[in-house]
Amino acid sequence: MSMNRYEEDMAVTALLAPRLAYFAAVARHEHVTRAAHELGVPQSTLSRAMVRLEQDLGVALFARTGRTVALTTAGRTFLASAEKALAEIARAAGSVQHDADAAHGKVAFGFLHTLGPETVPGLIRAFRADHPGVRFSLVQNYGEAMLERLRAGELDLCLTSPLPDAPDLVARRLDEQRLRLVVPDDHRLATRKRIRLAEAAEETFVTLEPGYGLRRITDDLCAEAGFTPRVAFEGEEAETLRGLVAAGLGVALLPPPAVPRPGVVELTVTAPRAVREIGVAWLEGHPDTPPVDRFKRFLLSRRGRLIPEWHAPAQEAPVADPRPGTAS
């Protein structure tokens, strides 16, 4: 079977790469023995390697006088590219070693948009109190997209919901977050504190797009309550949905906001049990660098206290009329 151009180039690279450092040392010293001493290899091994390199290329790289050598024109051209390649390899090696360093390495960490305002900053702040040098590459996305990035090796860990059930992934439950039915503050249900989800069966919903974990949970909870939600709008951000609820476009099942939003009322759902599990996922069998291992252990130590506790804002007390003799 014939090879395409890429396969041919890779085959040549595999042949030449181990000899580039040898070639650069001989070219730098213009002397085989001195180059062999620097590299810590027998002179005969180095000489044979240079002969094979020239044979593989089909070009004379050196003009030889005993053990002294001088670069040919082709040799000088090849040296310029070889030195660039070796320098790039050295930079790449230094970069991955730095990222794996226990004290100053990097963690590629993904998380849901709804965990960005409070949960993730709090986690990283607490972790860096003991590991101040560890760096983070942060990615916000919806669950399925993050799992694909885990599989592609672009992420080390991710916080997601619902927890994935796939043979190539490991997932550990860390906490759960109550979902509330969010309604406009002038809605017929706005005076309520609690509600059964079935009572909202005739309402119009605003939801996240299909593929988002929260959308799947919303659909499942509504199905458990005995209805299919009528969807007026599909979005990508929970807070955008909360704004649309405030504008009267519908109701929504959402996790608590980082900051209470005016114009909406958040109702506790009593049935079915409206929660979403939050967990950490990683690729099965993927080796952890020391900083990733430390951050993973830190996340697992936060079981049951990952999500900051949320309290609904207190209702404002009625303001007394300042006029004498007037009831408040």
Q: Which range is most confident: 103-107, 203-207, 210-214, 234-238?
A: 203-207
**HSE on the CB side for 69, CA within 13 Å?**
26
Encoding tokens for residue 69?
């050598």
Give the pLDDT confidence of 149-192 residue by residue, as tens digits.
Answer: 999 999 999 999 999 999 999 999 999 999 999 999 999 999 99
Tell me whether strands 106-111 and 135-140 are parallel, antiparallel or unpaired: parallel
The number of angstroms, rounded, from the C-alpha of 23 to the middle of its chain's C-alpha atoms is 41
Local structure of 138: helix, strand or coil: strand
**For residues 20 and 82, is the Cβ–Cβ distance under 8 A?**
yes
Q: Is the pLDDT reported for residue 8 higher than 80?
A: no
pLDDT range class, residue 207, cuts 50, 70, 90: very high
Could you report how far apart the first and last alpha carbons of the chain are, in Å? 93
Q: Which amino acid is at 168?
A: D
Tokens of 115: 């965990």
pLDDT tens for each residue of 111-129: 998 898 889 999 999 999 9
CA dist 179 to 19, 214, 227, Å? 61, 10, 18
Q: Would you tell me the crossing angle of helices 290-300 and 119-130 to the nearest 10 degrees?
A: 120
- pLDDT of 214 > 60? The answer is yes
Asked which of 44-48, 55-59, 217-221, 316-320 is least confident by mean pLDDT, the reply is 316-320
